């Protein structure tokens, strides 16, 4: 098999850990696989360099930031190659440029446009393990080094796996896979063996520290089999994120996600004026505010109430936008003491009664549901934040996820 492996900053955080990663790679190579490993900068390095830059300028030129930040991954790739060579393995480092990665011209948040994998293919055919400096490429117009922004090394790995048609792309972090829910909340949470791309995207909060949505979306698009596993316990099989067709037994519910970073905005007694809702949500979108759930209720007296949720980080901007609409409502309030609990599963498509089981499960605990929204594979509920953990645990049990 041809395997693309990705090791994040924590996995290569010091010299001992880089040696540990070399050992993982050796074992996989010894099993007869070809290996391309994508590495991040040693943890802390990138932040240190950003601090350096910010000491000179609050608005540095983005091309220079890319020149600066791309150095960290180069260091790790060379060190890991040296460690492998010392053990008698043929290994070669490659910068993003050498690996043939071409991006658009959006420095510091570039998107990969194409990968010329010929150099990598040649190196692999000569028996080399390739260590690619992640997070970087070359901007197509200027030919200068570019970086891919947050989660960039994951993207590098997934894109290479797609371009070179690797059998699997394994993302190594300090977590050994995706769980049915956050094990810190529900110790009975179980590691999932397989999960579909779409489920993973909906369970983002469970994988937030493990897989960024941007990488999962790219894996879905390029049909790359993604594995989330740990560099600290490499003997433990991780979770395979793959296309739905590859999952034979489709569980009705795969996992329970919790998101506490939500604010509920309530507009009461909204003026009965055509297009008022459209006007509000256009203004919020223009301000780059990501509105999540929306509920509109019309009371018996004809007065309309509008409820919606936004990320906590957007609260101040949202308040500013909403000032323009104060005249259109009797009252506007903001409730930060809420959270969103979601149940996710591809099996929902073909099963009925999934949502109602959630509602009754919460009702049994006297938890009021403020807003509900559903998609093909997800049911999300806004509840009071104080019930967050209780709700997760009762839903986890209701769908027998600990079995």
Place of tokens 């070359």: 138
| Gap between the Cα atoms of 137 and 70, Å rounded | 9
Backbone angles phi, psi at 192, to 5 degrees: -85, 140
What's the min distance (Å) between Cβ of 372 and a copy of itself? 49
What's the min distance (Å) between Cβ of 283 and a copy of itself? 34
C-beta of 93 vs 173, nearer to a copy of itself? 93
Residue 390 contacts residue 365 (beta carbons within 8 Å): yes
Alpha helices in 189-235 (DSSP H): 197-202, 204-207, 213-222
Residue 102 contacts residue 113 (beta carbons within 8 Å): yes
Kindly report the CA angle at 47 between 45 and 48, in degrees rounded to 5?
65
| Nearest Cα residue to 137 out of 93, 96, 105 | 96
- Residue 220 corresponds to which tokens in the numbers above? 């879905």
Q: How many other β-carbons are positioned within 10 Å of the β-carbon of residue 290?
A: 11
What's the min distance (Å) between Cβ of 55 and a copy of itself? 5
C-beta of 92 vs 254, nearer to a copy of itself? 92
| Gap between the Cα atoms of 170 and 31, Å rounded | 16
Contacts with a copy of itself, residue ranges (CB under 8 A)? 15, 18-19, 22, 49, 52-53, 55-57, 59-61, 63-65, 67-68, 70-72, 74-75, 77-79, 81-83, 85-86, 92-93, 95, 98, 143-145
Q: Which CB contacts under 8 angstroms, 24+ apart, belong to 18-25?
A: 18/42, 18/76, 18/79, 18/80, 18/83, 19/83, 20/231, 20/232, 21/80, 21/172, 21/231, 22/80, 22/83, 22/84, 22/87, 24/172, 24/231, 24/234, 25/80, 25/84, 25/89, 25/129
What's the min distance (Å) between Cβ of 114 and a copy of itself? 19
C-beta of 48 vs 349, nearer to a copy of itself? 48
C-beta of 41 vs 163, nearer to a copy of itself? 41
What's the min distance (Å) between Cβ of 58 and a copy of itself? 8
What's the min distance (Å) between Cβ of 139 and a copy of itself? 12
C-beta of 147 vs 212, nearer to a copy of itself? 147
C-beta of 75 vs 398, nearer to a copy of itself? 75
C-beta of 58 vs 184, nearer to a copy of itself? 58
| Nearest Cα residue to 360 out of 399, 402, 389 | 399
Give 3-state DSSP helix, strand, coil % of the chain, rounded to 5: 40, 25, 35
C-beta of 89 vs 179, nearer to a copy of itself? 89
| Gap between the Cα atoms of 401 and 182, Å rounded | 12
C-beta of 17 vs 220, nearer to a copy of itself? 17
What's the alpha-carbon Rg for the chain, to the nearest Å? Answer: 24
What's the min distance (Å) between Cβ of 33 and a copy of itself? 22
Place of tokens 């790739």: 77
C-beta of 67 vs 277, nearer to a copy of itself? 67
HSE, CB side, 13 Å, CA atoms: give it for residue 205: 20
| Gap between the Cα atoms of 362 and 191, Å rounded | 24
What's the min distance (Å) between Cβ of 82 and a copy of itself? 4
What's the min distance (Å) between Cβ of 56 and a copy of itself? 4
- Residue 207 corresponds to which tokens in the numbers above? 């994988």
What's the min distance (Å) between Cβ of 59 and a copy of itself? 8
């Amino acid at each position: 098999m041809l395997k693309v492996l990705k090791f994040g900053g924590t996995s290569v955080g010091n010299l001992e850990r880089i040696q540990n990663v070399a050992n993982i790679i050796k074992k996989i190579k010894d099993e007869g696989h070809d290996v391309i490993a994508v590495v991040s900068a040693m943890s802390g390095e990138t932040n240190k360099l950003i601090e350096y830059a910010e000491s000179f300028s609050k608005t540095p030129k983005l091309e220079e930031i890319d020149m600066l930040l791309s150095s960290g991954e180069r260091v790790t790739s060379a060190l890991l190659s040296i460690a492998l060579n010392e053990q008698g393995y043929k290994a070669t480092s490659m910068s993003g440029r050498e690996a043939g990665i071409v991006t658009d011209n959006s420095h510091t948040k570039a998107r990969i446009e194409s990968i010329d994998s010929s150099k990598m293919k040649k190196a692999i055919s000569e028996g080399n393990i390739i260590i690619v400096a992640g997070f970087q490429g070359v901007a197509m117009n200027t030919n200068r080094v570019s970086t891919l922004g947050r989660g960039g090394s994951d993207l590098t790995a997934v894109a290479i796996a797609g371009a070179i048609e690797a059998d699997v792309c394994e993302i190594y972090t300090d977590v050994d896979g995706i769980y049915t829910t956050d094990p810190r909340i529900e110790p009975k949470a179980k590691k999932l063996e397989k999960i579909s791309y779409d489920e993973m995207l909906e369970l983002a909060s469970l994988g937030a520290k493990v897989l960024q949505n941007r990488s999962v979306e790219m894996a879905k698009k390029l049909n790359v089999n993604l594995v989330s596993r740990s560099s600290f316990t490499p003997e433990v099989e991780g979770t395979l994120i793959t296309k739905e067709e590859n999952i034979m037994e489709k569980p009705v519910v795969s996992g329970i996600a919790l998101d506490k970073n939500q604010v509920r905005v309530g507009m009461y007694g909204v003026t009965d004026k055509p297009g008022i809702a459209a006007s509000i949500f256009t203004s919020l979108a223009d301000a780059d505010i990501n509105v999540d759930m929306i509920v509109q209720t019309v009371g018996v007296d004809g007065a309309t109430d509008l409820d919606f949720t936004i990320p906590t980080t957007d609260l101040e901007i949202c308040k500013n936008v909403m000032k323009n609409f104060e005249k259109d409502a009797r009252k506007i309030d903001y409730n930060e003491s809420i959270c969103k609990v979601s149940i996710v599963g591809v099996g929902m498509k073909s099963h009925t009664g999934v949502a109602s089981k959630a509602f009754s499960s919460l009702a049994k605990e006297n938890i009021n549901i403020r807003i509900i929204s559903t998609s093909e594979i997800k049911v999300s509920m806004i509840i009071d934040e104080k019930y967050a953990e209780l709700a997760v645990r009762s839903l986890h049990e209701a769908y027998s996820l600990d079995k």
